[in-house]
Amino acid sequence: MFIWSYWTAIGSKPAGPSKAFSLPSAEKELYEREEQAETQQEILKRVARNLPVYTRTAGGAIRYCDHCQLIKPDRCHHCSTCEMCVLKMDHHCPWVNNCVGFSNYKYFILFLAYASLYCVVICATVIKYFIKFWTKQLPDTHAKFHILFLFFVATLFFISILSLLSYHLWLVGKNRTTIEAFRAPVFTNGPDKSGFSLGFRRNVAEVFGSEAKYWIFPVFSSLGDGHSFVTRSVHIDPEQANSILQQNGKSQSPADGEAHPVRTADDSKEKTDGGQIVSVTMESEP
């Protein structure tokens, strides 16, 4: 299980945004010709109206990647090492020489979990010889130094990996990425670290899936398509509520590229500061 999860974390290709987030040729030509940032933002806003994009830059602008030349989906970031935009990017991990994001975040967590368990097994099988070493009951051979080295290395790796695993499990429970933990995502109504949190059970289901029987295996079972995410509260025009909820309720499997409804959304409206807030709740299908 350790080797399986490790190689899936390494071998899974980072998922990038679909062509729907690229600028149409006419708008792209206008954007590249325009020199004023304000006018460029107007062009991006026109295109973003048809996309399920709710997050903004710290200055309130549409998030656009000049390298990939596309509007960034929510939770998507550009990786300078992979030289591409990665959906729901968490971080670039040198341990797996890969970007950890929407396509392999579950595999990465399972890799940490099975690595921790592997270290426990090593320590448990070596500890009796380790005790004999300290009580001078072990035969005086070169092997005793191997046992000492093995026990200390397994213990140190267990402590470091367990701390990293605990941190990422905390992130899963909060429905945050490492990037969002350090820098809160900015919505149209301001920054909100818990903007994507839907409650502990639903947050776990976002990463591991709605069927518990697949949780322990490094097979893809995460919900959604990585391009759009249900949020706690999104400021939108009431006339656009139904269409945006439909877009949030669609999922695309990385394997076949076809859209499937995997979750529904219930919305409730309430007045706040003279505006409309649509509270969206995710419900996973059985």
Q: Which amino acid is at 165?
A: L
Contact call for residues 209 and 223 (beta carbons, < 8 A): yes
- Which residues are paired to 265 by β-bridges? 282
Task: Identify whether 68 is a catalytic site residue.
Answer: no
Which residue, chain included where needed, has tokens 């290709």?
13
- Based on the number of CB atoms within 10 Å of its own CB, is 11 exposed (0-12), middle (13-18) or buried (19 or more)? exposed
Q: Which two tokens stand for residue 281?
A: 């709740």
- According to DSSP H, which parts of 63-135 are helical? 105-134
Question: Taking CA 9 as the corner, what is the angle to CA 112 and CA 100, rounded to the nearest 5 degrees?
Answer: 85
Two tokens, residue 44: 């991006």
Helix and strand element counts for the chain (H, E) = 8, 14
**What DSSP line would sit under 208-222, residue for residue?**
H-S-GGGTTSSS---
Q: How far apart are CA 110 and CA 117, in angstroms?
A: 10
Residue type, 199: G
- The closest alpha carbon to 229, from 212, 213, 205, 255, belongs to 205
Q: Of the listed 79, 85, 93, 119, which one is catalytic?
A: 93
CB atoms inside a 10 Å sphere around CB 61: 15
Q: What is the dihedral of CA 19, 182, 198, 260, to 10 degrees?
A: 20
Partners of 86 in beta bridges: 77
Which residues are identified as catalytic? 93
